[in-house]
Structure 1
């Protein structure tokens, strides 16, 4: 007689929740995923307006190279090898309103030549930065297995790069950019709200791009989310949408299930939150399991800003343009009463034929802001004013885009604007954040604990326990959480079993 499988309830069907669910199901747990929105994905989402699809999340996927260890981890949750990846030669272009431009190439030798030709006065800083990027391109990811030999081997490989990793993780991109005198080079590193990440994030992005390990998957975020959700359901997992969790149930300091907004109780042996961190800690658990460390994090760490996204359906083939253009503005764009941007970026998705009909292009422009209250108040209490403000921002963005590409205004046939109020409504992310905790000199690169002090049978995963966010944070924290569950319950963690079998077949010690 088979034993009754242990039950896991996972709150949130974003990338972290879905990956955890697939791993838990493979390990023999009975899994139910509860998603408050009408479809899975969370922040990893896109939407359709007419004939156009507008992507709001995925610009590249780390682990696209079959030779990278992260690729093997993606394979554990879905068939990543079925994706088609795009690797642009010109990764980004920085432009000023006086017609000057700077191309950021994926090939580091070509990039170095371009930067030196454009700004010879910054030669020393250019060579120093490119040396750092080249060093990071050979930097292994921290070991993701539970094997101490692997962790030791990876640690030894990382040891020579520790000073570089430390220095780049303790300076913001904006501060690093001030080492350069050229305005376009400074613009590349960003300014103000766009550049509060530690510069190590930008350096790693260039390194991964140069290695062809950060390709864009055709179909965007849904090309990743869809197959993982389908895999979960084929494994027998339960995915419930429009199921909003109000409370995590606790008995004797042990998580025993959840209660939904409609009063339904769902019991579980484990509760895993892949939902918003602040909501989990302070609402679902009533702030009862905080402790000094957690309180310090939520009081002092800075989340990513929220954002507006102006999306344009352009009845024109823009494939001769760079797919990612950073525009430096002489006059700032006023987003809201507290936010004025001196640079904005356009993504021209001509490289994704699934996003627009032939001969047409989906274009997006993301505008960061921390003034979530302004947009939420307008949305809730002044709907006419809300629509008027959305139109004003859209008109400003279209005017800038038309300056970049004269005459394109007449080819725009779809305009869509999402705001921080949209982010809050669809994801309930704290402060409408686009990616959880900002990777800053304060946070460093180390993940936060997945447990809360004094609470058993409960784990947190995703972007609120790994600063920097992104899809890999969901994948990695989910995998670690399920391994921890298996270890505590005396169950085999299936990926480890497969790895050990492969090593034994190859004659390696296990």
Structure 2
């Protein structure tokens, strides 16, 4: 099956993927030198970036370093999107970052050395289930296989084969990327040269797991982290994305940023300024201007026009094409194509500032309170925002580095994935300012989650609380404008991943997507990779 010759449609998708990757590995100075040799000057191509989330900031960094005149327009008064923080009393809360990992060469390309302090994390995790309460340290690939095989001896062969497939896939993908750099990939022979990648082009993670493991609770143990980060259960998650994430996890180094993720965003903004880029805060782009299907600039809510030959949108894709380009026929046709994809899951999140210094049982960075259900049922409970039955994650930030909180206090977050449907009934009143019923439901869910954490993991938690804030999918809409409060943009489903994934390029000449609604699903790493891909596409296109 893996040796099957590509169909014409598959070949075209592969060719498109290859074309979008041809400049991988080229640093700005090398590409700009080639541009100058061709008689082109980056200064002749003014760029406007809509939004300063990770993808917007990363694309602006690469483009400004290459000499493009870059203007970033951000609706809020600080950069970052989800990569930000806020203060309440004596506490400084991180909005979303639990850990960060990206290839070291890409981190250096961003110019962050000396601007942001990284704290290495070992990601020790305490997992609490019905019959167990164990701390799981960071494992090497072989240690992970051995650990899981001892826990599930009846499935040890399948466990080993599954993980060895995922590890080999990551190696195969690395070689594929290296060959892409030199243009030496033979697309017709891809099924023979890259059989693991090819075998995952159109199957789900469930389809892959079925080859190795049958017990649904073992499948949950192997996939709960991957599925939470990707926002889909195994039956809907792309087998390629799920396996790549699984194979990468034990091989990657993860970090946190001191003091918060806002420092990462500020660092990227500083690099843009160092390279003569401009950041404008407190303005909202309400229109992308075009002429003969080519961008000519953007207009902000105060009526000001910013001319541009290139526009990078870090806004969500539905708003980019449905609102900012509402009078463009090609954009509206593209919206019809995008309508087949749904926004990702959202979150219910609680930030707690505690009196007393709490570090858990030891050095664990997080606690995971498991449910009694299989992972497909867990996702049904997430979608229903079922606080009584869904798994819960707790981040213990004071174990990230000494001095995270002020002396005599502690900071933690309680996190649960949440669908949007349970909150849709509050939508109209919420945005009209009538929030009484919404607040009651938010308090009920927050109290339920805190009670469960108190019973299972942190006795006396309620009596320790000094400051509490909570956010729902409606909160996420308020601050990001993402439809349904999506945290991952378009999730990597089987029909929207790998060769089928929405691209960073668009049908509008000069317009590119840098957010999680493009080639890489939403995350800190995904945003940076989208920004890098956008830069590569622009250098190729001009």
TM more than 0.5: yes
1:248 is displaced (CA, Å) by: 0.8
Say whether 1:118 aligns with 2:172. no
Does 2:58 align with 1:8?
Answer: no
Worse-matched range after superposition: 189-198 or 78-87? 189-198
Equivalent residue runs for 1:137-148 within 5 Å = 138-141=171-174, 148=181
For 1:227-376, what aligned pairs fall within 5 Å after superposition? 227-286=267-326, 288-290=329-331, 295-296=336-337, 298-314=338-354, 315-318=356-359, 320=362, 322-329=364-371, 338-340=384-386, 341-349=389-397, 350-353=399-402, 355-358=404-407, 360-367=409-416, 368-371=418-421, 372-376=423-427
1:151–1:379: structure 2 CA closer, same or farther, 3 Å change rule? farther
Structure 1 range deviating more: 20-29 or 144-153: 144-153
- The CA deviation at 1:8 is 1.2
Q: What residue is the counterpart of 1:433 in the other structure?
A: 486
Report deviation, 1:277: 0.9
Deviation of 1:31 (Å): 1.4
Per-residue deviation, 1:30: 1.6
Would the alpha carbon gap of residues 145 and 171 (structure 1) be closer, same or farther in structure 2, given more than 3 Å must change? closer
Once residues 320 and 42 of structure 2 are traced to their aligned partners in structure 1, the CA distance between those partners, rounded to angstroms, is 31
- 1:448 pairs with one of 491, 502, 506: 502
Note closer, same or farther for the CA distance 1:139–1:323 as it changes in structure 2 (3 Å cut): farther
Report Cα offsets for 1:7-53 as digits up to 9, x if no partner. Answer: 21111111111122122222222211111122111122232223333
Retained in 2: the 8 A contact 1:143–1:150?
A: no
Task: Give, in angstroms, the shift of residue 232 of structure 1.
Answer: 0.8
TM-score, scaled to structure 1 = 0.82
Give yes or no for contact 1:313–1:414 (8 Å, CA) kept in 2. yes
Q: Does residue 167 in structure 1 map to residue 219 in structure 2?
A: no
Q: 1:57 to 1:288 in 2, by over 3 A?
A: farther
Provide the residue aligned with 2:163 in structure 1.
130
Work out whether 1:152 is the aligned partner of 2:191. no
Conserved 8 A contact 1:172-1:198: yes
Tell me the CA shift for residue 464 of structure 1.
1.2
* Contact 2:314-2:513 within 8 A present in 1 as well: yes
1:305 to partner: Cα distance: 0.9
Residue 479, structure 1, aligned to residue 532, structure 2:
yes
Separation of aligned partners in 1, 2:170 and 2:42: 48
| Structure 1 position 397, deviation (Å) | 1.0
- Structure-1 separation of matches of 2:498 and 2:518: 11
How far apart, in 1, do the equivalents of 2:75 and 2:144 lie?
44
Which residue of structure 2 lines up, in the alignment, with residue 393 of structure 1?
445
Give secondary structure in 2 for the equivalent of 1:243: coil
What are structure 2's unaligned runs of at least 5 residues?
A: 1-40
Closer/same/farther in 2, CA of residues 52 and 207 from structure 1, 3 Å limit: farther
- What is the aligned partner in structure 2 of residue 79 from structure 1? 112
Match of 1:379 in 2: 430
1:118-168 deviations in Å (ceiling 9; x for gaps): 221222322222222432453444777997526639999996553266339
Structure 1 residues 109 and 409: CA distance shift in structure 2, 3 A: farther
* Contact in 1 for aligned 2:296/2:308 (Cα 8 Å): yes
Tell me, in whole angstroms, the C-alpha distance in 2 between the residues paired with 1:155 and 1:101.
48
SS at match of 1:290: helix
Under a length normalisation based on structure 2, what TM-score does the superposition of the two structures give? 0.77
Task: Name the CA distance, whole Å, in 1 between partners of 2:133 and 2:111.
Answer: 43
CA distance in 2, matches of 1:356, 1:153: 54
Q: Is the 8 A contact 2:209 2:219 kept in 1?
A: no
Match of 2:244 in 1: 204
The one of 39, 42, 54 equivalent to 2:81 is 42
What are structure 1's unaligned runs of at least 5 residues?
A: 64-69, 490-510
Shift in Å at residue 265 of structure 1? Answer: 1.6
Q: Secondary structure at the match of 1:390?
A: helix
Is the Cα contact below 8 Å between 1:86 and 1:218 reproduced in 2?
no
Three-state SS of the structure 2 residue aligned to 1:32 is strand
User: 1:416: Cα distance to partner?
Assistant: 1.1
* Structure 1 residues 451 and 194, CA gap change in structure 2 (3 angstroms): closer
Judging changes above 3 Å, is the alpha-carbon distance between structure 1 residues 3 and 171 closer, same or farther for their aligned structure 2 residues? closer
SS state at 1:28 partner: coil
Residue 464 of structure 2 is matched in structure 1 by 411
Q: Which moved more, 1:263-272 or 1:137-146?
A: 137-146
1:222 pairs with one of 262, 270, 285: 262
> What secondary structure sits across from 1:284 in the alignment?
coil
Question: 2:346, 2:420 within 8 Å by CA — same for their partners in 1?
Answer: yes
Contact 1:308-1:369 within 8 A present in 2 as well: no
Q: Rate the CA distance shift 1:429–1:173 in 2: closer, same or farther, 3 A.
A: farther
Task: Give the drift of 1:323.
Answer: 2.0
Which structure 2 residues correspond to residues 178-189 of structure 1 after superposition, within 5 A?
179-181=213-215, 183=217, 186-189=220-223
